[in-house]
């Protein structure tokens, strides 16, 4: 049975997998009140040691070598989340598992079952839920009023080698946001993609939600710009979020002047409101929430079940893409 830490005792925590994302976990945890970064684990010894040296903690190359901890963040390649996370959860170690929760439905269930078995908390690292602009939007938008959500998450080719396609790597963020903002499930999907060496590198999905609302998602890792936008249409408003700059704009169309004057007749009165958003690092917000969950002060904001629901759409999109005639852009 997991022991809860007293409020005045730091949560002893390990960062497992300290590559691109996990090194950020270690950085934020090391500076966070209420947490003690006890160890980092990476299969690459030099990498583990280099990160441990920066933060003055123990370096391990395998979770079996971990000193006693209350909690762990898991940022190993997505296909290894269950192999690494299941034994930890079974031992009662609370885990923040990076998104996507896993790459197969069996692995997702294995992680959720292990959490139940070990009475451990499982939080999934859907970081955009902790973006303050998204949190602000979730507070002000009425989910029943949403008629359409559009998201674009596009990046250039990077040196980062992913073991998964762009749908599982990037689009999963926006699928989770669509489900969380609308509270509705997906009933139908149409999708198209452009293939690269590891499956789709550019994908477009049109979603129908149970109340008839529509989602239009584009994810790309072959676009020569970084774009991360979310647009939400309701009957009365149009909301636009720029995820990285944490900007939230609200548009509302006023009355069309009807004086009969030709110039006036075609003038639209669109009001734009820039919402004040207190900028914070989403990862710090996510890890603070994780500490609250570890202490029993909060329920996981992104549960295993919520992450699995987004993954069901991912797998449906992947099935559609694999059945479609593969599109590959030929070099000129
Ligand atoms: N939330 C986000 O915005 C976000 C961003 C990037 C990556 N991620 C997720 O984080 C995870 C890692 O991605 P990344 O880009 O950091 O990958 P990465 O390849 O940079 O890092 C993975 C690290 O895990 C280590 N590793 C591999 N097997 C291991 C094992 N069995 N035990 C311990 N360490 C092991 C590797 O040596 C490597 O250092 C993925 O699931 C990815 O989807 C999330």
Instruction: Give the pLDDT confidence score for residue 257 in this predicted structure.
Output: 58
CB 7 within 8 A of CB 67: no
Helix 81-90 and helix 105-118, axial crossing angle in degrees, nearest 10: 20
Q: Where in the chain is the domain with CATH 3.30.360.10?
A: 129-280+311-323
Distance 117 CA to ligand 1 centre (A): 25
Q: How far apart are CA 141 and CA 138, in angstroms?
A: 6
Looking at residue 326, what is its pLDDT? 59
> What is the rounded distance in angstroms from the CA atom of residue 173 to the CA atom of residue 66?
30
Q: Which residues line ligand 1 (CB under 6 A)?
A: 16-22, 41-44, 47, 75-78, 80, 84, 98-99, 125, 127, 160
The pLDDT assigned to 8 comes to: 75
Cβ 239 vs Cβ 232: under 8 Å: yes
Cα(7) to ligand 1 centroid in Å equals: 30
How much distance in Å is there from the Cα of 271 to the middle of ligand 1? 43
The reported pLDDT for the residue numbered 159 is: 65
Where does the chain hold its CATH 3.40.50.720 domain(s)?
A: 11-120
CA distances from 2 to 5, 86, 93, 232 (A): 9, 15, 7, 41
Low-confidence ranges of the chain (pLDDT < 50): 1, 331-332
For the whole model, what pTM was predicted? 0.93
**CATH for 11-120?**
3.40.50.720
Q: What is the pLDDT of residue 331?
A: 46
Q: Which atom of ligand 1 is nearest to the CA of 78?
A: 41
Please tell me the distance between residue 47's alpha carbon and the centre of ligand 1 in angstroms: 12
Given a contact cutoff of 8 angstroms between Cβ atoms, the answer to whether 109 and 101 are in contact is no
Task: State the CB neighbour count (10 A cutoff) for residue 329.
Answer: 11
| Residues 6 or more apart whose Cβ sits within 8 Å of residue 270 | 251, 252, 253, 254
pLDDT of residue 156: 83
Residue 312 β-bridge partners: none
Which CATH superfamily is 129-280+311-323 part of?
Dihydrodipicolinate Reductase; domain 2 (3.30.360.10)
């Amino acid at each position: 049975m997991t022991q809860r830490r007293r409020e005045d005792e730091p949560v002893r925590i390990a960062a497992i997998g300290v590559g691109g994302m996990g090194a950020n976990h270690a950085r934020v945890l090391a500076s966070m009140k209420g947490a003690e970064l006890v160890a980092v684990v990476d299969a690459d010894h030099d990498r583990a040691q280099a990160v441990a040296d920066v933060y003055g903690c123990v370096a391990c190359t395998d979770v079996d070598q971990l000193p006693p901890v209350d909690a762990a963040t898991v940022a190993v390649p997505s296909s290894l989340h269950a192999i690494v996370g299941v034994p930890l959860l079974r031992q009662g170690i609370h885990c923040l598992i990076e998104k996507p929760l896993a790459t197969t439905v069996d692995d997702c269930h294995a992680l959720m079952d292990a959490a139940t078995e070990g009475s451990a908390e499982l939080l999934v690292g859907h970081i955009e839920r902790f973006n303050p602009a998204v949190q602000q939007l979730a507070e002000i938008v009425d989910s029943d009023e949403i008629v359409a959500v559009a998201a674009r998450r596009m990046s250039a080719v990077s040196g980062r080698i992913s073991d998964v396609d762009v749908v599982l790597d990037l689009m999963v963020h926006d699928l989770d946001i669509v489900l969380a903002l609308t509270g509705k499930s997906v009933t139908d999907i149409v999708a198209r993609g452009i293939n690269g060496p590891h499956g789709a590198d550019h994908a477009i999905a049109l979603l129908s939600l149970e109340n008839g609302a529509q989602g239009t998602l584009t994810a790309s890792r072959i676009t020569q710009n970084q774009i991360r936008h979310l647009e939400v249409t309701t009957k009365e408003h149009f909301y636009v979020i720029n995820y990285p700059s944490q900007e939230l704009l609200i548009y509302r169309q006023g009355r069309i002047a009807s004086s009969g004057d030709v110039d006036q007749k075609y003038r639209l009165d669109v009001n734009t409101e820039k919402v004040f958003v207190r900028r914070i690092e989403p990862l710090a917000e996510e890890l603070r929430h994780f500490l609250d969950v570890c202490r029993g002060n909060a329920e996981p904001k992104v549960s295993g079940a919520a992450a699995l629901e987004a993954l069901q759409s991912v797998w449906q999109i992947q099935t559609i893409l694999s059945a479609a005639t593969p599109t590959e852009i030929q070099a000129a």
